[in-house]
Structure 1
Amino acid sequence: MTATFIGVRHHSPACARLVADTITALRPAYVLVEGPADMNPRLGELLLGHDLPIAVYTGYRDAERRHGSWAPLCDYSPEWTALTAGRDVGAEVRFIDLPAWHPALADVRNRYADAEARYAEVTERLCRDFAVDNPDALWDHLFEIEPADGLADRLAAYFDLVRGDARTAPDDEAREAYMAHWVRAAVADAGDRPVVVVTGGFHRPALVRFAEEGDRTWPELPQPPGDAVVGSYLVPYSFRRLDAFDGYQSGMPSPAYYQHLWESGPHEAARGLTEAVTARLRGRGQPVSTADLIAARATAEGLAAVRGHVHPARVDVLDGLASALVGEALDTPLPWATGGRIRPGGHPVIVEMVAALSGDRVGRLHPSTPLPPLVHAVADRLRATGLGGSGEVRLDLGKPADLDRSRLLHRLRVLAIPGVVRDSGPGPGGDPVPAEQWTLTDSDDRLPALIEAGGYGVDPEEAAAAVLAERIAATPGDMDVLAGLLFDAALCGVGALTGQVLDDLARAVGAAADLGSLGRTLAVALAMWRHDGLFHTGGGPAFGALIAAAVRRALWLAEGVRGGPAPADPKRIGAMAAVRDALVHAAAPLGLDTTAALGVADRVAACHDAPPDLRGAAFGLGWSLRGTAAADPGRAVRGTFTPALAGDWLAGLFALAREEVLHTPGMLELLDELVEAMTDDGFLIALPALRQAFGYFPPRERHLIAARLVRLRTGGTSGPDLMRLDATPELVAAGMRLDERVDTALRREGLITS
């Protein structure tokens, strides 16, 4: 007896129905399905009685590679109907593809990814021949809307055509050879009973050829390397994750529509699509009238007739709804016309239509489903620390119990577990506030995320440490990233990693060429050195050595920076601020050379080839360290107060010597005088940089500056009273525009000349 090969498109209701009908009719001895062969001993777990969609998630980790992949299944997946129909007729059901961790699938994130990119030329030609926009519309036109008669032959012809003589990649060849080995063995063992083989249509032509000759013994299951950590678990999935419009790389878009198509057929699916879109739009306050719906239905039916569809297809209904509900020109193409991820800037009605077709169904695992140890460990820890519910949580990091809770939440944050958000807390640089504010919320995506993170470790600390170690290995020498990871390791309480990152940063500092990245490293290291009682890193000497090396390197880099007028660089300014903080707080205990730093600051401040923001920062560095400016600050300000330079120079100055400027007599008055002297055009040129510069003052100090300037301008009138206007800002702006138009008209007519 030979095998019956059914090539399918993943997540196709038409293919799923064909698979179920074929298995029911043939009652085969074996049903062989494209899927991870290492799950065969656990097929009973897969068939426990879950609410679909679900997925088989496999995590793999060794010394060189980390990989995670999914094999999603929904009610209308042909692979799922093959499993369930095969079980119902008493067949031996087997997955026959290589395990997900295998190198042949190293680049595969979703096992059931259609291979359309590999035969794009053929599908593009077919789309032109059938006058459809993309492969999704082509598939609906050929298979989903058409009657089921002759479907198997049409599918075989289609996949033979699109595969053609295309040369396959070595990875595909390895998978197809392994699956063909399973087919030969099953056919030999079945004797005169049928065998049904269900795989992606791309693989079908090759399997038909390979199944004729070769070894007919059962293939061995490949084993992972001895040092690898491999785990496969079932995870709840969702229609949102399954939807091609949301970025899923395989299968069909609009899963809620295809669920209707699977359950009720094309006529009811079209009606259900219209109802879903209408309900969603009305729920968001978008008016959808009965007349709109009549127009949409008439347009959809007319398009279906023109396009040769017995029933309106998905694109017919969507085009009809768009025609009836969107009355203006669109800036982006309709997403169902282009395929793939929905593009930014789409019309709100179109975005809601796509969301309605995606649906909000979320899978649920059977209570008896095995879960990785991390899931149970996190649940136990959240329950033990009182963090199992939803709401806002405030933590005092000076209390051991709250510090323990903070570390647990940070570990979950590093693992990207949904529903765990830190609103405020200690950050790198400055004086960290020893308190944190978190918002915890329930999320349908939390369990899948925990299951997927289970490959990193059995408890939150081990898993977070593995994630951070992986990120460290992936970014050698990147000081920006390493500084952030150093801070995360401290917040998570992973002391061993803190030492590792310090070693990596110490090597990177010696070769650093970017002043901004070096400054972030210095700010993080200084904060953790100063506040070790809060972070508990225990790395005092190592942090001190890193700080001293970073200060020396930053000053050396600053003296070599050259460049004309350019937007102020906040990272470069931040580096100078970090040098100032290190000299203020750590000069004596770490032996930092303040005298040498002042010499660098004075030279950079006087160097006209240096960027204006760096010159202002250097001037401010010297002013803040000495307590008095090395040169007349008023003269320095006047010398740089041109429209192209003023704001950038002041940004550097304010960042380093904000308090000195605020409390030096006459400085604010001088700035007011210089701004007043600008022409209108000059002021507009300088305004963006000036706004950036004054942004270095916190709100309270900006209010103080405004009040002082109002008093200066009004001769003592209460500043706050004048700054509180009864009129709205919009009305004030409109009045200013009117004044400008009147002034322009008067000048044009020669009525005013000044």
Structure 2
Amino acid sequence: MSSAVFLGVRHHSPACARLVGRAISALRPAYVLVEGPADMNGRLDELLLEHRLPVAVFSHYRDESRVATSWAPLCDYSPEWIALRDGRAAGAEVRFIDLPAWHPAFTRRAEGAANRYADAETRYEEAVRRLCARFSVDSVDALWDRLFEVTEPDDADGLQARLDTYFDLVRGDTEGDPGDRAREEYMASWVRAAQAHSGGRPVLVVTGGFHRPALRELSYRGGTGWPEVPEPPGGALGGSFLVPYSFRQLDAFAGYQSGMPSPGYYQRLWESGPEAAARELTRAVAERLRGRGIPVSTAALIAARGLARGLALLRGHPYETRVDVLDGLAGTLITDDLDHPLPWTTRGTLHAGTHPVVAEMVAACTGAVEGRLHPDTPVPPLVHDVTEQLARLGLADPDGPVVLDLTGPDGLTRSRVLHRLRVLGVPGFTRVSGPADGTDPVFTERWAPGPAAGREAALIEAGAYGARLDEAASVLLAERAHAAGTDAGPLAGLLFDAVLCGVGPLCAELLDTLAAQVGQVREPGPLGEVLTTALGLWRHDRVFGVARGPLLGSVVASAVERVLWLAEGLHGGEGGVDLGRLRALAAVRDALRYAPEVLPVTREAAAEVAARIARDPRAPVDLRGAACGLSRSLGGSDDPTGVVTSLALDTLGDWLAGLFVVAREEVTTGEGALVDVLDDIVGAMSEGDFLAGLPALRQAFAFFPPRERERVAERLLDRRGRRGSARALLRTTADPLLLARARALEENVALLLTRHGLRTTP
């Protein structure tokens, strides 16, 4: 059996990439085994086309219980890319040896499976922390540059020894989590098979350094047959495609878990070495700052270069590192106090409110390189479907804003295509205006074309949801509905998005799902928003073709039944007005008025439920008022007069707010209107009680529009036998509460003056 050489690397490290290239040149191995998805082995020719890097292998998986997506990015200085490219050029058999990205070994890890090449040492921070303290650096990135990236040239043996020591220390005696162990056992089986089939020639194994110690030990255990590539279980959907990537997506400061920030800087380091990379970084920062109107003098740049060189000497670096350059620039160009540590001294994304000079420095380190796939690269069917539809509908390259008439079939078709792209997150168009819901009397839409950068990658990734645009949008909406669960907050938006994308068999399945979920929502307020949206579409929508549809009717029916059930079970809670639950009862009222044929609840049964809530002393006061209004609006016989007169003054306003949200007209018109009872109660109040209750009363009557307030004022004038303008009565020169307090103050002053004999008669 041949020997295996294990190279532990840090993903996206120029130093490791050079080491891999030198090892292939020196060993001339029979096999080069690379950490990467084994299900891509049949497509390595596609991967090794002349793409403009960075690109990524995008993998997706979906079954009834689990959804997984993963990206495995490659750039010019990725050790994995050099292993594939140089290994193939040297005549070696090149293989990916890791489990497919959909495998539970990835998706069950604590940090998820968003990125295959997330560095494992971030999960074992204690060893890294001790190393940072030993070498007096702030972060793992500065430590890595200090030990490996910016070192003396022609030190391959010393670099290899330092890498082995570093990864042995990081791994220590840790066995790894279950996902790590499953992956390492699988990769080791490929190593054993390659050794057995190599004819005595070396086998080079290139993996993340965290896995190297375990693989070296496991490669001596077990059989030597080629392992099978796992297949997705029956009924599951999955696949992998190449997608263009960008330096912005690669950057750790933007949230990528690669562990190597500043890809633009490391690209320069890879191409030109540390001295040129330092000079180019300084120049790039100056250009960005000047382009943003931030003055940077030549003297300041000279000072920054001098400070960076001094820091490199002080820190024992043979050349200026990235952190030396950034610290030199920050020390020279920033004179303000900073709210946060400099981002290159920590890990993670930039903070909100980052100093503009710091933000531009980080952007200069990132670079603006966008990857591009070779024209012969296979893409999912969705890409071809969307390309054909955009061309056929005149949307491929519009000259200006796109204005659509939704009342015509052509405009509606184009609108649905654009909404499906919007739902899938495909860039290129932004909706400027259009109907906000099914009752909005707007029959045109306006879309603004925008930059299409990233469209190809977004479409390839959206291909995980289906081969056709309508299918992909519907599947994504269904996935969002499933993720929402019983959280009603997103459901109203999902419902309208489904309608905007067009009703069809797949959208019908989504509406069925929404109807089932509505029946499990736990809060009446958000559920009321869903009911309002669904009822509005069911009653009025002719533009999108869903009016009186049975599927929307099922959503309305489920929501009405659930709101009544939840409302009757609400007890206690803090005082005050919850507008969400009040509007939910108002939506129930509208559904019982306008859509009784689709509801499982009759008007009589709903009125009985409302009457029980109204009489329940444990129910929130505002809800009791709304329930009383619902009962009256449905023809219930309960007289609210007794309830009003029995309420404490501090709760009267809350009760009235609930009542007025649901039944303004019913309680302010006709003989014996409730407004007459309120007038008597308010008229009997003392000045102190009136002042205490006035804010809540004002809040309650704020639910009346101006015309209805005028009608109430007219009734009050009639009750007093006075003639005058009700509209003028509503006009005040100041806040009514201030006027009432001023009047009370004046009366108190008059009483005091009278008491002490100081009041004079005019």
The interval holding the TM-score normalised by the smaller chain is: 0.7 to 0.9
Q: Partner residue of 1:122?
A: 127
- How far residue 691 of structure 1 moved from its aligned partner, in angstroms, is 9.4
- What are the residue-to-residue correspondences of 1:708-719 with 2, within 5 Å? none
1:571-608: per-residue Cα shift (whole Å, max 9, x none)? 32331331233244335786975566567667767878
Q: Is the 1:31–1:92 contact (alpha carbons within 8 Å) kept by the matching residues of 2? A: yes
Superposed, which structure 2 residues align to 1:138-153 within 5 Å? 138-148=143-153, 149=155, 150-153=158-161
Alpha-carbon offset, residue 377 of structure 1: 0.4
Alignment of 1:292-303 (within 5 A): 292-303=300-311
Q: Which piece of structure 1 moves more, 118-127 or 282-291? A: 282-291
Distance in structure 2 (CA, Å) of the matches to 1:383 and 1:645: 63
Q: Any stretches of 5+ residues in structure 2 without a counterpart?
A: 712-723, 735-762
Q: Distance in 2 between matches of 1:508 and 1:655?
A: 27
Q: Measure, in 2, the Cα distance between the counterparts of 1:549 and 1:455.
A: 32
Residues 440 and 163 of structure 1: CA distance in aligned 2, closer, same or farther (over 3 Å): same
Aligned partner of 2:5 in structure 1 is: 4
Partner residue, 1:398: 407
Displacement of 1:447: 1.0
Matched residue type, 1:131: S
Separation in 1, partners of 2:82, 2:193: 23
3-state SS of 2:534 partner: helix
Q: Show the 5 A alignment for 1:296-375.
A: 296-375=304-383
> What's the offset of the Cα at 1:102?
2.7
Which segment is superposed worse, 233-242 or 407-416?
Answer: 407-416
Q: Percent identity at matched positions? A: 57
Q: Which position in structure 1 is the counterpart of 2:239?
A: 231
Q: Partner of 1:402: helix, strand, or coil? A: helix
Q: How far 1:419 moved relative to its partner?
A: 3.2
Q: CA deviation at 1:96?
A: 2.0
Between 409-418 and 452-461, report the one with greater CA deviation.
409-418
Write out per-residue CA displacement over residues 260-294 of structure 1, whole angstroms, 9 at most, x where no aligned residue.
Answer: 11111112212222222222222222232334323
Of 184, 199, 219, 1:176 maps to: 184
Report the Cα distance in structure 2 between the residues aligned to 1:270 and 1:312, rounded to whole angstroms: 6
SS of 1:533 mapped into structure 2:
coil
In 2, the alpha carbon distance for the partners of 1:570 and 1:553 equals 18
**Partner of residue 579, structure 1:** 588
- The yes-or-no answer on 1:167 pairing with 2:175 is yes
Distance 1:216 1:537, change over 3 A: same
TM alignment of 1:173-572, pairs within 5 A: 173-389=181-397, 391-428=400-437, 430-431=439-440, 433-504=442-513, 506-508=515-517, 513-531=522-540, 533-537=542-546, 540-541=549-550, 543-544=552-553, 546-548=555-557, 550-563=559-572, 566=575, 568-572=577-581
1:186-238 per-residue CA deviation (whole Å, 9 max, x = no partner) reads: 33333343332211111112222233454333333333324332321110001
Q: Equivalent residue for 2:715?
A: none
User: Taking structure 1 as reference, are residues 520 and 630 closer, same or farther at Cα in structure 2, changes over 3 Å only?
Assistant: same
Cα contact 1:29–1:194 (8 A) shared by 2: yes
Residue 14 of structure 2 is matched in structure 1 by: 13
CA distance in 2, matches of 1:127, 1:223: 42
Q: Structure 1: how far apart are the matches of 2:303 and 2:640? A: 77
Q: Whole-Å Cα distance in 1 between the matches of residues 333 and 639 of structure 2?
A: 68
Structure 1 residue 169, shift from structure 2 partner: 2.5
SS in 2 for 1:535: coil
Residue 760 of structure 2 corresponds to which residue in structure 1?
Answer: none
Give, in whole Å, the separation in 2 of the partners of 1:136 and 1:497.
48
Deviations 1:73-119 (A, max 9, x none): 00111111122222333332222222223332334221212101332
Quote the offset at 1:432 in angstroms: 5.7
**Aligned AA (2:45):** G
List per-residue Cα deviations over 1:430-486 (Å, max 9, x = no partner).
Answer: 456444333332332211111111122111112222223333444554444455444
What is the identity, as a one-letter code, of the residue corresponding to 2:117? Answer: Y
Q: Distance in 2 between matches of 1:493 and 1:474?
A: 21
Question: Is 1:477–1:505's contact at 8 Å kept on the other side of the alignment?
Answer: no
Q: Any idea what the Cα deviations from partners look like across 1:589-630, whole Å, max 9, x if unmatched?
A: 86975566567667767878654654665577678889xx98
Contact 2:592 2:599 in 1 (8 A): no
Shift of 1:251: 3.4
CA contact (8 A) 1:377 1:458 kept: yes
Q: Distance in 1 between matches of 2:360 and 2:620?
A: 48
Inter-partner Cα distance in structure 2 for 1:346 and 1:662: 56
**Match of residue 87 from structure 1:** 88
Q: How much does 1:16 deviate?
A: 0.9
Name whichever of 44-53 and 271-280 sits farther off: 271-280
For residue 743 of structure 1, what is the aligned residue in structure 2? none
Give the number of equivalent residue pairs: 716
CA shift digits 1:522-581 (9 cap, x unpaired): 223312321353333487345445535543543454355344655643432331331233
Letter of the 2:451 partner, please give it. D
Contact 2:477 2:494 in 1 (8 A): yes
Residue 63 of structure 1: aligned partner: 64
Q: Does 1:48 align with 2:46?
A: no
Q: CA deviation at 1:54?
A: 0.4
1:201 and 1:527 map into 2 onto residues whose CA distance is 59
Kept after mapping to 2: 8 A contact 1:613/1:651: yes
Change in CA separation of 1:591 and 1:466 when aligned onto 2, cut-off 3 Å: closer
Shift of 1:341: 2.2
Q: Take 1:37 and 1:151, find their aligned partners in 2: how far apart are those partners?
A: 29
Instruction: Report the residue type matching 2:25 in the other structure.
Output: T
What is the one-letter code of the residue matched to 1:158? Answer: Y
Aligned-residue offset at 1:487? 3.5
Deviation at 1:174, TM superposition (A): 2.6
**C-alpha distance in 2 between matches for 1:368 and 1:693:** 68
Distance 2:143 2:208 in 1: 17
Summarize the Cα distance change of 1:12–1:553 in structure 2 as closer, same or farther, 3 Å threshold: closer
Change (3 A) 1:162 1:585: same
Q: Given residue 412 of structure 2, which amino acid in structure 1 is its aligned partner?
A: L
- Kindly indicate whether the alpha-carbon contact (under 8 Å) linking 2:138 and 2:345 is maintained by their aligned counterparts in 1: yes
Task: Output the CA distance in 2 between the equivalents of 1:533 and 1:102.
Answer: 46
Structure with greater Cα Rg: 2
**Displacement after TM superposition at 1:255 (Å):** 0.9
Quick check: 1:640–1:649 contact (8 Å CA) kept in 2? no
Alignment of 1:607-618 (within 5 A): 611=620, 613-614=622-623, 617=626
Per-residue deviation, residues 654-712 of structure 1 (Å, max 9, x unmatched): 755789999999x9xx9xx99xx999x999x969x989996x799x999x99xxxxxx9
The Cα of 1:256 is off from its aligned counterpart by 0.9
Specify whether residues 549 and 446 from structure 1 end up closer, same or farther in structure 2 by C-alpha distance, changes over 3 A only.
closer
Q: Quick check: 1:564–1:612 contact (8 Å CA) kept in 2? A: no
Please say if residues 479 and 505 of structure 1, whose CA atoms lie closer than 8 Å, have aligned partners that are also in contact: no
More displaced stretch, 540-549 vs 591-600: 591-600
Q: Structure 2 vs 1, CA of residues 434 and 530 (structure 1 numbering), >3 Å: closer, same or farther? A: farther
Look up the equivalent residue of 2:61 and give its one-letter code. Y
Residues 269/640 of structure 1: CA separation in 2 closer, same or farther (3 Å cut): farther
* 1:131 equivalent among 125, 131, 136: 136
